[in-house]
Amino acid sequence: MRAEGAKRREALDVPPKRTTPPKVRYKGVAPYGFLSPYLILAAVFFVVPFVNAILLAFYETNGPKSRVFVGLDNFRFLLQDQTFHAALRNTTVYALVSVFIQLPLAMGLAVMLNKGNARLRGFFRLVFFSPNLVGQILVGILFSVLFTPRYGLIGRACQAVLSWGYEARWLGDPKLIMISIVIASLWLWVGFNMVYFLAALQTVDKSLEEAARIDGANAWQVFWHVTLPSMRHVVVFVVIMSVIGSYQLFEMPLALLSESWGYGTDNSGVMLITYLNFNAFRSGDLGLGSAVGWVVALIIFTISLIQIRLGRVAEAD
Amino acid sequence: MSAFHVLLLLFAAVFVVLCVKSRNTATRYARVTLLCLAAAAVLAPFTWLVAAVFKDHAYLNEFLFFPPPDRWSTETMNLGNFRELFKGRASLRGTVYFWEFALNSTVFATVTTTLQIVFSSMAGYALAKYEFRGKTALTLFMLGSMMIPSVLLLAPLYKMIVTLGLVDSLPGLIIPIMVSTYGIFLFRQSCLSIPNEMIDAARLDGCSEAAIYFRIVMPLVRPMAAAFCLVAFLANWNAFFMPNVFLHTDDKLTLPVVLNLYLGEFRRHQGVFLAGTALTMIPPAVLFFALQKEFISGLTSGAVKG
């Protein structure tokens, strides 16, 4: 029978029936073996510290060795501590600036690059991304010198453009400290976010934009109503990532304002993590540090939840 | 009115002239001009840095960038900053040299990156290609753990490292971050595209599970490994917060920590830590220029489909 069937198929020039290879359901312990390094490390260096972080926030500690249970005192202290309020305010201002100034700039650059030819695009992408090779702390070190009054590059550039800034004490004047941090962060992160936007722009369907243009939409309308909605996933991702990153800003202001442990004149440059670092690892109160960590974690967790919701909305459209 | 304003007016004038001739040429011209201005703003600090490290201590502030060609001499431009940087510094542990910090950084970044690639790809492969009990729960746990900011864990982790007697040593710094959850998800993503038939065929031929991973999966996820390698190396090379907290003695520090210390120490002689900063930028820059494409794909693979 079988041979006959094969012969007939041959005669009809039908390719032999394809048989799917027998699916071998693997039942052994191999996956646990592959996962074991992660499982062990996560248990020891994530779960244990995590549980400890919960407990530690209710203790007052003096260095890693001694501790006293203080209940909610750490949080009560944070509620009335002026420096903590300044940290919360500065960090929030910084997060808003990075969403409303940094990201539009990055998007503008990405749109301009997307129109040019490929070789030019590669070159500019390389240039704009290059500050990210440097690392926050080194950017802070470099900019702390660039902000030197009178001699620094930034004061002189400002003088040339705005006819002001030559004598400004960028890192000493409480009014200018946040602006200085923003300038350094723009230099560092505009190119980074641009890379994401550029990659997303290249996946946008060109025929949609073309159709809108033929229907008489101008360049701005095409961008706002066609291009931007088609890359909403990436936009949501980048916005959330930069807000989360903003709340964890620490190294750059620390190096910029190294004389005051990153606090700046009148606490005008203190960030949440700067505050955590100083209290936990300078003053040795790991308990207070943990409490600050919980505040940051809560903020980031809320933002992540918003991301998941927004992601669902984007999916549903 | 400064030279910059004159230049700006000139650009505007050319733009207006082009606008009259053809709108398309004008927008193209404006676009390229804006891009060039932005590029100049990005590159200016780098140029300034290169000039600053070669300028003599006494001339750092005299010229904004390089001195004019007629002032070039060993008096204005020399390697004094590097000489000062490489000179050993007295510490409690005897004289420490700059190359020791460079060595610490190299060991820390390469060992950590290698371990992260191996462990993360193993876990990513298991998540992508096996069905096992607790898989969904584990995936959810991983996603949740990525939402916890690492600073929250730093204080208790520090306490733990002290208890384990690993404080102030490179192992104490490396072991807690040997596996990267972010890396696991990247590798899981690229393992999903490996055809199941390939793995089944190898299994039928009597290949052991470990051999499948090493001889079939690893070669296939090489592009992702390269991309992740770059991103991870950069993060580890520039890492500051954890090393700054965990390391104490002078001869154990990594480059970012040392350079931050120099910031206070050489306040009157900025060229020295600027020279160190410039040297620290070289390894990531070399890696990046060699493997630019992989780098960008590694960064964006989590966010952008296709």
What is the tens place of the pLDDT at every residue in B72-112? 777 777 787 888 888 877 777 778 888 888 999 999 999 99
Q: Is residue A317 within 8 Å of residue A235, measured between CB atoms?
A: no
* Number of other residues whose CB lies within 10 A of the CB of residue B3: 8
| Between residues A308 and B256, the one the model is more confident about | B256
| Burial class of A45 by CB neighbour count within 10 A (0 to 12, 13 to 18, 19+) | buried
Residues B229 and B261 in one domain: yes
Task: Indicate the Cα dihedral angle A85, A86, A91, A93, nearest 10°.
Answer: 110
CB-CB: which of A41, A150, A200 is closest to B179? A41
Q: What pLDDT, on the 0 to 100 scale, is given for residue B1?
A: 57
CB contact under 8 A, B281 and A134: yes
Residue environment code for A120-141, b if the CB has 16+ CB neighbours within 10 A, otherwise e: ebeebbebbbbbbbbbbbbbbb
Placement of tokens 């992408």 in the chain: A125
Boundary of a domain, candidates B47, B78, B109: B78
Q: Phi and psi (nearest 5°) for B22?
A: -155, 135
| Between residues A165 and A206, the one the model is more confident about | A206
Residue A107 has pLDDT above 90, yes or no: yes
Q: Give the pLDDT mean for B232-245.
A: 89
CA distance to partner chain B, nearest, from residue A11 (Å): 30
Residues B117 and B253 in one domain: yes
User: Domain range for residue B26?
Assistant: 3-78
Q: Is residue A231 within 8 Å of residue A205, measured between CB atoms?
A: no
The token duo for A234 is 């990436």
Q: Give the pLDDT mean for A168-194.
A: 88
CA distance to partner chain B, nearest, from residue A161 (Å): 6
Q: How confident is the model at residue A22 (pLDDT cuts 50, 70, 90)?
A: very low
Q: Residue B253: which of B92, B103, B81 has the closest Cα?
A: B103
Residues B182 and B285 in one domain: yes
Residues B282 and B153 in one domain: yes
The top-scoring range by mean pLDDT among A229-238, A257-266, B167-176, B189-198 is B167-176
Q: What pLDDT, on the 0 to 100 scale, is given for residue A316?
A: 60
Angstrom distance (rounded) from CA A154 to CA A143:
9
* Number of other residues whose CB lies within 10 A of the CB of residue B272: 24
Angstrom distance (rounded) from CA B253 to CA B280:
14
Residues B28 and B133 in one domain: no
Least confident stretch, A14-28, A175-189, B55-69, B161-175: A14-28
List all residues of chain B from 189 to 248 with a beta carbon under 8 Å from chain A: 196-197, 200-201, 203-204, 209-210, 213, 234, 237-238, 240-241, 245
| Annotated domain spans of chain A | 75-137+179-316
Q: What is the pLDDT of residues B110-125, one digit of tens each?
A: 999 999 999 999 999 9
Which residues touch B184 (CB under 8 Å, ≥6 apart)?
A38, B120, B123, B124, B127, B142
Model-level pTM? 0.83
Q: What is the pLDDT of residues B267-293, one digit of tens each?
A: 778 888 888 889 998 998 888 887 777
CATH number, domain at B200? 1.10.3720.10
Q: Give the pLDDT mean for B43-47.
A: 90
Angstrom distance (rounded) from CA A12 to CA A316:
49
Angstrom distance (rounded) from CA A191 to CA A183:
13
ipTM for the predicted complex comes to 0.83
The token duo for A89 is 């305010």
Which residues touch A220 (CB under 8 Å, ≥6 apart)?
none
Boundary of a domain, candidates B78, B99, B127: B78
Domain count across chain B: 2
Residues B161 and B245 in one domain: yes
Residues B251 and B154 in one domain: yes
The token duo for A94 is 């910084």
Per CATH, the architecture of A75-137+179-316 is what? Answer: Orthogonal Bundle (1.10)
Q: What pLDDT, on the 0 to 100 scale, is given for residue A65?
A: 66
Q: Is residue A276 within 8 Å of residue A296, measured between CB atoms?
A: yes
For an interface test with B, which of A23, A32, A34 has the most B Cβ atoms less than 10 Å from its Cβ? A34
Q: What pLDDT, on the 0 to 100 scale, is given for residue A2?
A: 46
Residues B57 and B162 in one domain: no
Q: What is the pLDDT of residues A36-76, one digit of tens each?
A: 999 999 998 899 988 888 888 888 777 666 777 877 888 88
Q: What pLDDT, on the 0 to 100 scale, is given for residue B304?
A: 57
Residues B200 and B292 in one domain: yes
Q: Is residue A223 within 8 Å of residue A111, measured between CB atoms?
A: yes
Q: What is the pLDDT of residues A110-133, one digit of tens each?
A: 998 888 777 888 888 888 988 888
Residue B258: enclosing H or E segment and its boundaries? helix B255-265
Q: How confident is the model at residue B306 (pLDDT cuts 50, 70, 90)?
A: very low
Which stretches of B130-253 are DSSP H helices? 135-147, 150-163, 170-174, 181-191, 196-204, 209-212, 218-220, 222-237, 241-246
Least confident stretch, A17-26, A166-175, A232-241: A17-26
List all residues of chain B from 65 to 94 with a beta carbon under 8 Å from chain A: none
Residues B125 and B176 in one domain: yes
Would B83 be classed as within a structural domain? no
Query: Average per-residue pLDDT in chain B?
Result: 84
Least confident stretch, A53-62, A201-210, B119-128, B191-200: A53-62
Q: What pLDDT, on the 0 to 100 scale, is given for residue A64?
A: 61
Q: How confident is the model at residue A24 (pLDDT cuts 50, 70, 90)?
A: low
Residue B180: enclosing H or E segment and its boundaries? none
CA distance to partner chain A, nearest, from residue B228 (Å): 15
Boundary of a domain, candidates B46, B78, B110: B78
Residue A244 has pLDDT above 50, yes or no: yes
SS (HEC) of chain A: CHHHHHHHHHHHCCCCCCCCCCCCCCCCCHHHHHHHHHHHHHHHHHHHHHHHHHHHCCEEEECCCEEEECCCHHHHHHHHCHHHHHHHHHHHHHHHHHHHHHHHHHHHHHHHHHHCCHHHHHHHHHHHHHHHHCCHHHHHHHHHHHCCCCCCHHHHHHHHHHCCCCCCCCCCCHHHHHHHHHHHHHHHHHHHHHHHHHHHHCCCCHHHHHHHHHCCCCHHHHHHHHHHHHCHHHHHHHHHHHHHHHHCCCHHHHHHCHHHCCCCHHHCCCCHHHHHHHHHHHCCCHHHHHHHHHHHHHHHHHHHHHHHHHHHHHHHC
Q: What pLDDT, on the 0 to 100 scale, is given for residue A185?
A: 93
CB contact under 8 A, B288 and A304: no
Angstrom distance (rounded) from CA B223 to CA B230:
11
Would B84 be classed as within a structural domain? no
Residues B188 and B219 in one domain: yes
| Between residues B67 and B81, the one the model is more confident about | B81
Would B180 be classed as within a structural domain? yes
CB contact under 8 A, A50 and B4: no
CB-CB: which of A50, A56, A112 is closest to B148? A50
Angstrom distance (rounded) from CA B83 to CA B51:
16
Residue B305 has pLDDT above 60, yes or no: no
Would B305 be classed as within a structural domain? no
Per-residue DSSP letter, B67: P
| Between residues A16 and A140, the one the model is more confident about | A140
Residue A276: list chain B partners with CB under 8 A. Answer: 151
Euclidean distance between the first and the last CA atom of chain A, given in angstroms as a whole number: 56
Q: What pLDDT, on the 0 to 100 scale, is given for residue A90?
A: 93
Residue B167 has pLDDT above 80, yes or no: yes
| Burial class of B66 by CB neighbour count within 10 A (0 to 12, 13 to 18, 19+) | middle
Q: Residue A32: which of B26, B38, B133 has the closest Cα?
A: B133
Angstrom distance (rounded) from CA B258 to CA B240:
10
Q: Is residue B222 within 8 Å of residue A42, measured between CB atoms?
A: no
Residues B126 and B32 in one domain: no
Q: What pLDDT, on the 0 to 100 scale, is given for residue A88?
A: 92
Residue B160 has pLDDT above 60, yes or no: yes
The token duo for A86 is 């300044």
Q: Residue B173: which of B278, B285, B274, B256 has the closest Cα?
A: B256
Residue A17 has pLDDT above 70, yes or no: no
Residue A309 has pLDDT above 90, yes or no: no
The token duo for B277 is 């900063």
